[in-house]
A and B are shown apart, each in its own frame.
Chain A
Amino acid sequence: MIIRGGVIQSGTNAAPIDPLINLMMSQPQVETNQVFVVAEFDPPAVPAGARATYRLIVTALSETIVLPEKLPAPAGLRIEEGGKAQALQNLGSIIQARSTYNFRAYPAAPGGVVMPAFAIKVAGKSVTVPEARLTVLAPSAVLVPAPARLSLEIPTNDIYIGQAVAARLLISDPGDNSVLAMTQAHVVGDGLLAEGGFARMMRQAVMRDGRPQLSIMSEVLATPMREGKLTVFGQASVILNRGTDVRYPTMPGYYPLMDTEPVTMHVRRVPDEGARAGFTGAIGNFQLDPPQLSLKEVRAGDPVLMQVVVRGEGNFGRFTPPRPPADPDWQIFPPSTEANSGNQMQHQGYAAFVYTLIPLSDRVRATPAMAFSAFDPEKKKHVDLTIPPVALKVTPAPGGVRAPRAADAADAVDADANEPTLALAGLMENRGATVASLVPLQQRGGFLAAQLVPAALLGGLWWRDRRRRFHAAHPEFLLKRRARRALARQRRRARRAVATSDAGAFVTAAVNALRAAAAPHTAANPDALVCRDVLRELPAGSNGADSGLVRKIFSAADAANFTQRIENESALLTLGADFERVAGKLEGRL
């Protein structure tokens, strides 16, 4: 790739060149080889004490120019720093950069004043600024025609930080229609932000020295950014129909830079007294249009757009839209605006914000109120501009159910106003009643097991009552059971008596056993039975031996009772086996 004269030429084997790069490289270059310097007084003659402009024009980029810290002004000439600007002029094959430095010059006495030549640095090289001459007339002298002069009209008092201030730059025509227009109007000052893109120019008649003069006016929006005194001045390039090419032969198409006398502004801070919620820097006289919703009915979870329009006069490009409140029933996204920049918003004269809101519940009846306020510099007080709620019907989300409504009132606004103030409750002083576990009682095994206690109690009572009723209806069961128990007890005693060879105890136990076994069948007390009663209750299969055994036992028992003596004890003790057999037969009937 070969670069010749700023044009890229591709070789046969070179890679294709990006068309954009090719276009950029084909543009004319900024001329840096030849530096022209013009120094002049404008106008060339002024009365003593009046202002003239010492203008220094250098055909170079301002970044490459280094001026001496103090100009070598002659005695009797007061020099103050003024405006400065830079412009690029397309001269066909090259682009000429022109940097202009204005100095306000005030000659003290009539005569001639010569600003001597001096050296400046341009791109590191020393360049000589030629001398310039100013003719100073008597103080009472009047210039005819009056030279064109730039003036600045800007409010100087009751200005607040952040307030958008309209500054007017005017240049009056000397009467020969020599002033055609002005460009690059600007207001310059430390602590002042001027909107370069917002400048309106118009031609109008302005009263000057008691008579109307045709003037060119350009309006610039300025915003003070700090408190205190601000010294500002305006500047603009003025297009004259006088042949400027003659005055500046090396700078065809040059329009001289003019600047105004400095003006002092007194800037104050927006007062905190009376400040309202939702102040986001809006200063001016604003009005709020009723908010507009994109939908009248929306389902929970679906978005709805709300447009808020602020009209009036003020710093549209400086304040931020009100922040949406935190509301559990709403998801609200930060607002967007149709304007691309604050300048555009300022130019169109209103601010429009679009909020995207998503209702999270069908309980809501209206959009939430959004706190918003502005400071009115004319009334010198804060003004409430709260965005009001807008009624909205919200239906349940698909598959959802309608949430219970706290109140059936249609005015959700009033419902919000009546809500109690929410706050964190204080600590409890006493621990209060304690529990063993957070697990509910019904899910604990101990509680379920404890239910067995009343169940067992009532069940036992029921079973006992049932058994009692059964025994009342069938007493023979109870008699036979008692008889079985008594028979078993007496048989054990009889066996024990045989084992210990106690004939008396054997006979007593045997008689008691026979009586107990026979008693249930006779419905009599066992003690009341005699031998004959027992013989009658012997089973049907009993033989004479059984009857004889019964008689022997009863006879021995009677003898022991009435004679207190037992005969033939050893023979009685041998009856043990027979007694067991008879007792077994009687037990079989029980």
Chain B
Amino acid sequence: MFRFDLASSLSAGFGLVSPLTPALSPLRGEGEAAGKSVGTDLFEDHRARGALPSPLNGERARERGEAGLWYRKGIFAGGLLLFLFLGAQLRVVADDSFREGAAAYAAADYARAAGKFREAASNAPSSATFHNLGNAEWKNGRTGAAVLAWERAQWLDPFTTNATASLRFARHTAQLESPRLAWHEGASTWLPVNAWPLLASLSAWLAVAALMLPPIFRARRRDWHQALAAASFAVFLATLPALAGVHARAKFGVVLATKTPLRLTPTREGQVITSLPAGETARLERERGGYVFIRAGNDAAGWVERERFGMICGR
């Protein structure tokens, strides 16, 4: 979804007219149908009216400019095509890995299944892929990696009941606590994490547009203009706590290794305060070198090695 948005945004942002989208350029389409370019057509019209002198040197320059413009458009269109092609190839590879992972899981080859699902998640992350990866890791006995994968599945899609059930099962089995969320963090789980910024952006610009566009286009201000602006602004305000919640939840991570020592200082010789079990969810507070300072659910805080702590948001 985002890739599509990004491509659209890039096209619209640079104001380019791609050959792939002729419908966006009706004027150009008519010109081509008449067998001449738009620019040439306009020059000829002016010359026929006698308003322009003989266009000898000026027209050559304009033709050179036109050629350069079309050259640049071609490069961009080629780049865009290459971008879309590579994206499609990644999706194909991810599809294959997903299917191979499911087959390996059915054959009880959980190590291979985990590898394939991990490859699929790396190429094209999705909630279902992370859920399957969690199952394979759990079967491999890697509780920390399994909990991290299921948390990521929930991160992308909070409505996935499978990952929720598996997480509840794993935490009950391994005697792990669920992370305690603040109210705004809990509110941010009502929608997928990427839905909140999109909703906030859409509502904010819609409110601004509803206020600005009528006078710009010399239309009479109507009640529904005001209502639309107010409603959009209200939606925007409502998304702010959830945005803050997503920002806070982006600092959650999962302890990957069993009996991970929680140290008082970010050094290998640091005093060990306690040991954290694999799958424990903790909040990252700061980083230093190869260590991260985390706070676990029981308020135990200390430094752990960075590679023993996996961030849910993948940073």
Please indicate whether A and B come from the same complex rather than being unrelated chains. yes
Residues of A at the B interface (CB closer than 8 Å) are: 301, 326-328, 360-361, 399-400, 403, 422-443, 446-447, 449-454, 458, 461-462, 464-465, 493
Q: Please state if B125 and A437 are interface contacts (CB–CB under 8 Å).
A: yes
Q: Please state if A438 and B102 are interface contacts (CB–CB under 8 Å).
A: no
With the chains together, A397 CA to B221 CA distance in Å?
Answer: 59
Kindly state whether residue B177 has any CB partner on chain A within 8 Å: yes
Kindly state whether residue B296 has any CB partner on chain A within 8 Å: no
A422-B172 contact given A431-B98, A438-B156, A450-B9, CB 8 Å threshold? yes
With the chains together, A435 CA to B129 CA distance in Å?
Answer: 11
Q: Please state if A432 and B315 are interface contacts (CB–CB under 8 Å).
A: no
Q: Please state if B128 and A430 are interface contacts (CB–CB under 8 Å).
A: yes
Please give, as numbers and ranges, the residues of chain A lying within 8 Å of B132 by CB-CB distance: 427-428
Provide a sorted-by-A list of 22 A–B residue pairs whose CB atoms are within 8 angstroms. A326-B175, A328-B175, A360-B177, A423-B165, A425-B161, A425-B162, A425-B166, A425-B169, A427-B132, A427-B135, A431-B94, A432-B129, A433-B126, A434-B126, A436-B125, A438-B156, A441-B198, A442-B246, A452-B13, A458-B212, A458-B213, A461-B212
B246 partner, pick from A399, A440, A446, A449, beta carbons under 8 A: A440
Q: Please state if B201 and A451 are interface contacts (CB–CB under 8 Å).
A: yes
Please give, as numbers and ranges, the residues of chain A lying within 8 Å of B172 by CB-CB distance: 328, 422
Q: Please state if B152 and A438 are interface contacts (CB–CB under 8 Å).
A: yes
With the chains together, A432 CA to B124 CA distance in Å?
Answer: 10
With the chains together, A437 CA to B201 CA distance in Å?
Answer: 19
Q: Please state if A434 and B314 are interface contacts (CB–CB under 8 Å).
A: no
In the complex formed, the residue of A with least CB distance to B215 is A465
In the complex formed, the residue of B with least CB distance to A461 is B216
With the chains together, A273 CA to B28 CA distance in Å?
Answer: 87
With the chains together, A422 CA to B174 CA distance in Å?
Answer: 12
In the complex formed, the residue of A with least CB distance to B239 is A442
A458-B208 contact given A453-B12, A453-B13, CB 8 Å threshold? yes
Q: Please state if A440 and B313 are interface contacts (CB–CB under 8 Å).
A: yes
Q: Please state if B13 and A432 are interface contacts (CB–CB under 8 Å).
A: no
Kindly state whether residue B234 has any CB partner on chain A within 8 Å: no
Q: Please state if A440 and B194 are interface contacts (CB–CB under 8 Å).
A: yes
| Shortest Cβ-Cβ A-B pairs, 9 listed | A438-B314, A428-B128, A425-B162, A442-B197, A434-B124, A450-B9, A422-B169, A441-B197, A432-B128
Please give, as numbers and ranges, the residues of chain A lying within 8 Å of B175 by CB-CB distance: 326-328
Question: Would you give the shortest CB distance from B161 to chain A, in whole angstroms?
Answer: 8
Interface of chain A, main secondary structure = loop
Interface 0/1 of B38-58, CB less than 8 Å to A: 000000000000000100000
**Total contacts A-B at CB 8 Å:** 149
Please give, as numbers and ranges, the residues of chain A lying within 8 Å of B193 by CB-CB distance: 440-441
Q: Please state if A427 and B102 are interface contacts (CB–CB under 8 Å).
A: yes
A403-B180 contact given A424-B169, A443-B250, CB 8 Å threshold? yes
Question: Would you give the shortest CB distance from A137 to chain B, in whole angstroms?
Answer: 77
Interface 0/1 of B12-34, CB less than 8 Å to A: 11000000000000000000000
Interface 0/1 of B174-217, CB less than 8 Å to A: 01110010000000000001101110110001001100110110
Please give, as numbers and ranges, the residues of chain B lying within 8 Å of A440 by CB-CB distance: 193-194, 196-197, 246-247, 250, 313
In the complex formed, the residue of B with least CB distance to A450 is B9
Q: Please state if A428 and B2 are interface contacts (CB–CB under 8 Å).
A: no
In the complex formed, the residue of A with least CB distance to B201 is A451
Give the one of A327, A360, A429, A436 with max B CB within 10 A: A436
Q: Please state if B176 and A328 are interface contacts (CB–CB under 8 Å).
A: yes
Kindly state whether residue B73 has any CB partner on chain A within 8 Å: no
Kindly state whether residue B168 has any CB partner on chain A within 8 Å: yes
In the complex formed, the residue of B with least CB distance to A422 is B169
Please give, as numbers and ranges, the residues of chain B lying within 8 Å of A427 by CB-CB distance: 102, 105, 131-132, 135
With the chains together, A425 CA to B130 CA distance in Å?
Answer: 13
Please name 19 further chain A to chain B contacts, defined as beta carbons within 8 Å, in addition to the given A425-B131, A431-B120, sorted by A numbering: A328-B177, A361-B177, A422-B165, A425-B169, A427-B102, A428-B129, A431-B98, A431-B129, A432-B126, A434-B124, A438-B156, A439-B315, A440-B247, A440-B250, A441-B198, A446-B9, A451-B201, A458-B213, A461-B212
With the chains together, A122 CA to B213 CA distance in Å?
Answer: 121
Please give, as numbers and ranges, the residues of chain B lying within 8 Å of A442 by CB-CB distance: 196-197, 200, 243, 246-247
With the chains together, A119 CA to B256 CA distance in Å?
Answer: 76
Please give, as numbers and ranges, the residues of chain B lying within 8 Å of A431 by CB-CB distance: 94-95, 98, 120, 124, 126, 128-129
Kindly state whether residue B163 has any CB partner on chain A within 8 Å: yes
A437-B216 contact given A423-B165, A425-B135, A442-B197, CB 8 Å threshold? no
Residues of B at the A interface (CB closer than 8 Å) are: 1-3, 5-6, 9, 12-13, 53, 91, 94-95, 98, 102, 105, 120, 124-129, 131-132, 135, 138, 152, 155-157, 161-163, 165-166, 168-173, 175-177, 180, 193-194, 196-198, 200-201, 205, 208-209, 212-213, 215-216, 243, 246-247, 250, 298-299, 312-315
Please give, as numbers and ranges, the residues of chain B lying within 8 Å of A461 by CB-CB distance: 212-213, 216
With the chains together, A442 CA to B313 CA distance in Å?
Answer: 12
Q: Please state if B165 and A443 are interface contacts (CB–CB under 8 Å).
A: no
Question: Would you give the shortest CB distance from A186 to chain B, in whole angstroms?
Answer: 48
In the complex formed, the residue of B with least CB distance to A447 is B197
Give the one of A422, A441, A458, A464 with max B CB within 10 A: A441
Q: Please state if B247 and A443 are interface contacts (CB–CB under 8 Å).
A: yes
A435-B125 contact given A425-B162, A427-B135, A440-B246, CB 8 Å threshold? yes
Q: Please state if A426 and B298 are interface contacts (CB–CB under 8 Å).
A: no
Please give, as numbers and ranges, the residues of chain A lying within 8 Å of B205 by CB-CB distance: 454, 458
Question: Would you give the shortest CB distance from B88 to chain A, in whole angstroms?
Answer: 12
With the chains together, A470 CA to B168 CA distance in Å?
Answer: 66
Question: Would you give the shortest CB distance from A531 to chain B, in whole angstroms?
Answer: 24
With the chains together, A327 CA to B298 CA distance in Å?
Answer: 16
A433 partner, pick from B1, B168, B169, B243, beta carbons under 8 A: B1
Question: Would you give the shortest CB distance from B151 to chain A, in whole angstroms?
Answer: 10
Please give, as numbers and ranges, the residues of chain A lying within 8 Å of B91 by CB-CB distance: 434
Q: Please state if A462 and B212 are interface contacts (CB–CB under 8 Å).
A: yes
Give the one of B9, B131, B198 with max A CB within 10 A: B9
With the chains together, A458 CA to B209 CA distance in Å?
Answer: 7
Q: Please state if B125 and A438 are interface contacts (CB–CB under 8 Å).
A: yes
Please give, as numbers and ranges, the residues of chain B lying within 8 Å of A327 by CB-CB distance: 175
In the complex formed, the residue of B with least CB distance to A429 is B102
Question: Would you give the shortest CB distance from A328 to chain B, in whole angstroms?
Answer: 5
Q: Please state if B313 and A438 are interface contacts (CB–CB under 8 Å).
A: yes
With the chains together, A360 CA to B102 CA distance in Å?
Answer: 38
Please give, as numbers and ranges, the residues of chain A lying within 8 Å of B169 by CB-CB distance: 422-425
Please give, as numbers and ranges, the residues of chain A lying within 8 Å of B194 by CB-CB distance: 435, 440-441
Q: Please state if B177 and A439 are interface contacts (CB–CB under 8 Å).
A: no
Question: Would you give the shortest CB distance from B302 to chain A, in whole angstroms?
Answer: 16
Q: Please state if A450 and B13 are interface contacts (CB–CB under 8 Å).
A: yes
Q: Please state if A428 and B125 are interface contacts (CB–CB under 8 Å).
A: no
Question: Would you give the shortest CB distance from B3 to chain A, in whole angstroms?
Answer: 5
Q: Please state if B127 and A432 are interface contacts (CB–CB under 8 Å).
A: yes
B156 partner, pick from A400, A435, A447, A452, beta carbons under 8 A: A435
With the chains together, A422 CA to B172 CA distance in Å?
Answer: 8
Q: Please state if A424 and B9 are interface contacts (CB–CB under 8 Å).
A: no
With the chains together, A442 CA to B196 CA distance in Å?
Answer: 8
With the chains together, A441 CA to B196 CA distance in Å?
Answer: 9
Please give, as numbers and ranges, the residues of chain B lying within 8 Å of A443 by CB-CB distance: 247, 250
With the chains together, A454 CA to B201 CA distance in Å?
Answer: 10
In the complex formed, the residue of A with least CB distance to B95 is A431
Question: Would you give the shortest CB distance from B146 to chain A, in whole angstroms?
Answer: 9
Q: Please state if B2 and A462 are interface contacts (CB–CB under 8 Å).
A: no
With the chains together, A219 CA to B2 CA distance in Å?
Answer: 85
With the chains together, A412 CA to B163 CA distance in Å?
Answer: 26
Please give, as numbers and ranges, the residues of chain B lying within 8 Å of A449 by CB-CB distance: 13
Please give, as numbers and ranges, the residues of chain B lying within 8 Å of A422 by CB-CB distance: 165, 168-169, 172-173
With the chains together, A437 CA to B124 CA distance in Å?
Answer: 8
In the complex formed, the residue of B with least CB distance to A403 is B180
